[in-house]
Structure 1
Amino acid sequence: MSALTSAATPRPGAVLADLLPASSSARARVRDVALVLGGAALTGAAAQLAVPIPGSPVPVTGQTFAALLVGAGLGAGRGFLALALYAVAGMAGVPWFAQASAGVGIPSLGYVFGMVLASLAVGALARRGGDRGVLRTAGTMAVGTAIIYALGVPYLALSTGMSAGEALAAGLVPFLLGDAVKAALAMGALPAAWKLAGRQD
Structure 2
Amino acid sequence: MTAIAIPRKRVLADYVPAVVGVPAWVGTRVRDVLLIAAGAGFIGLLAQWSIPLPGTPVPLTLGTFAVLLTGASLGGVRGLLSVGTYLVAGGLGVNWFANHKDGWGGATFGYVIGFVLAGALVGWLAQRGGDRTVLRTAITMVLGNLVIYSVGVSWLMNSTGMDLRAGLAAGMTPFLIGDAIKIAAAAGLLPAAWSLVKRVDKH
Query: Common fold, TM-score beyond 0.5?
Result: yes
Give the alignment partner of residue 18 of structure 1, picking from 10, 14, 18.
Answer: 14
What TM-score, normalized to structure 2? 0.91
Calculate percent identity across the aligned residue pairs: 53
Indicate if the aligned counterparts of 1:13 and 1:129 stay in contact, CA closer than 8 A: no
Structure 1: distance between partners of 2:63 and 2:109: 12
Kindly indicate whether the alpha-carbon contact (under 8 Å) linking 2:9 and 2:15 is maintained by their aligned counterparts in 1.
no
4+ aligned runs moved over 3 Å, structure 1 = none
Report the equivalent of 1:83. Answer: 83
Q: Which residue does 2:4 correspond to in 1? A: none
Higher relative contact order (CA 8 A, sep 6+): 1
- 1:59-138 to 2 correspondence within 5 Å? 59-138=59-138
Aligned to 2:3: none
Aligned-residue CA RMSD in angstroms? 1.3
Counterpart CA distance in 2 for 1:103 and 1:170 is: 22
Amino acid across the alignment from 1:126: A
Against the structure 1 CA distance between its residues 191 and 145, is the aligned structure 2 distance closer, same or farther, given a 3 Å change threshold? Answer: same
Residue 106 of structure 1 and its aligned partner are, at CA, apart by: 2.0
- Structure 1 residues 126-146: Cα deviation after superposition (integer angstroms, max 9, x where no partner): 000000000000000011000
State the distance in 1 between where 2:146 and 2:172 align.
10
TM-score computed with the length of structure 1 as normaliser? 0.92
How far residue 12 of structure 1 moved from its aligned partner, in angstroms, is 8.6
Summarize deviations over 1:20-68 as a string: whole Å, max 9, x none. Answer: 1226111111110000101111111111000111100000100000000
Uncovered stretches (5+) of structure 2, i.e. residues with no partner: 1-6
May I ask how many residue pairs the two structures share in their alignment?
191
